[in-house]
Amino acid sequence: MSTTAVQLSAEIVALQEGIGKMYDEHSAFWEAIFGDHIHQGYYDLDVPLPTLGPLNSYGLIWRAEDLSKFPKNVIDVGCGLGGTTHYLGSKYGAKCVGVTLSPYQVQRASELAAAQGLSEKVSFQVANALNLPFPDGHFDFVWSMECGEHMPEREKFISELVRVAAPGATIIVAAWCHRDLLSSEKSLKPSEKQHLDKITKVYHLAEWCSIADYVKLLKPHPVENVKSDDWSKYITPFWTQATHAALSCNDKGTHDTTDITTAMGWMNEGYEKDIIKFVEADEEDSRDSRCSKFYILISHKDDGIQQDVRQNFATELERGLDGIAV
């Protein structure tokens, strides 16, 4: 093995250890703010924030679902405290497994599942998203929200998601990205890089990429019919609300939360300056008889169906959002 390969491997191990440690230390704090779904929220801009609540994280799951049939086997890659896993297991009655690098999150997600009577349907384990401990074609729904940002080898990450997807499976990835570059640009502006570097250091992220970079990673795979959607403006309100909630939270645990709270403000600024994008893309797997869909939450699609879904979002929330399709 070359020196470069050994060094890269060591860097990946160090990054993953930092990720696991961060979530071990701060997940209790995030749970106090967000509940068990410790991810960004989706906000309908036509509905006042008090109507949806200050931290509407579950709206993002409901908006992302696009399932023509109920899944039977689900994996949540980067499951956090299991909010998405609990929701999918409860809604679809599917066998769900959540994976994370954090032993604390596995323990807490399992406790929350038991409290909801979901222990027979939902399970959690420590696992590496770059080397998932599951056979090929095992899951008919592969979900990963805000996990790809941590991946130092995104081509391997995407390959693993596709590998464990069964024929006809749906794959959804929700990810932070930086803006797409203009045709005249070779890279982000120095000030933009500096802004993202601050966030990267605090949240133990890998190098940022764009939606265009994600699309390139998908080219080696037998997928087609790519679709995408940019939800950035519907995500931006979350970070203002999250920062305020973090600053006013009295249950900060035993670890210093100054840096991660400050970084929430940087995330908000990144969205407002159009540096950060929240991404959706959908593809069909053309290999053999497979027809898998791949979603990356990015590039705005403003057709009539999308408008109707947005306008009726508050009503659908009250109905439990059964059957919402993006």
Digitized pLDDT (tens) for each residue of the chain, 326 residues in all: 443 444 458 889 999 999 999 999 999 999 988 888 888 877 777 766 544 444 555 555 555 555 667 889 999 999 999 998 998 898 889 999 999 999 999 999 999 999 999 999 999 999 999 999 999 999 988 889 899 999 999 999 999 998 998 887 888 888 899 999 999 999 999 999 999 999 999 999 999 999 888 888 878 886 665 666 778 888 888 888 888 888 888 877 778 999 999 999 999 999 999 999 987 655 555 444 333 444 443 322 222 323 333 333 233 323 333 332 32
Q: pTM (2 decimals)? A: 0.82
Asked if residues 313 and 59 have their Cβ atoms less than 8 Å apart, the reply is yes
pLDDT score recorded for residue 316: 30
Reference 57, options 257, 258, 278, 250; nearest CA is 278
pLDDT score recorded for residue 67: 61
Reference 54, options 35, 74, 26; nearest CA is 35
The token pair at 197 is: 């570097």
pLDDT score recorded for residue 219: 80
Rounded distance, CA 228 to CA 226, Å?
Answer: 7
Reference 104, options 15, 205, 29; nearest CA is 29
pLDDT score recorded for residue 221: 80
Which positions ≥6 away from 210 have C-beta within 8 Å? Answer: 177, 178, 179, 180, 181, 277
Angle formed at CA 40 by CA 68 and CA 239, multiple of 5 degrees: 150
pLDDT score recorded for residue 254: 79
pLDDT score recorded for residue 309: 30
pLDDT score recorded for residue 282: 55
pLDDT score recorded for residue 250: 81
Name the CA dihedral angle for 49, 53, 55, 56, rounded to a multiple of 10 degrees.
-90
pLDDT score recorded for residue 175: 87
pLDDT score recorded for residue 325: 31
Strands (E), 71-150: 73-77, 95-100, 122-126, 139-145
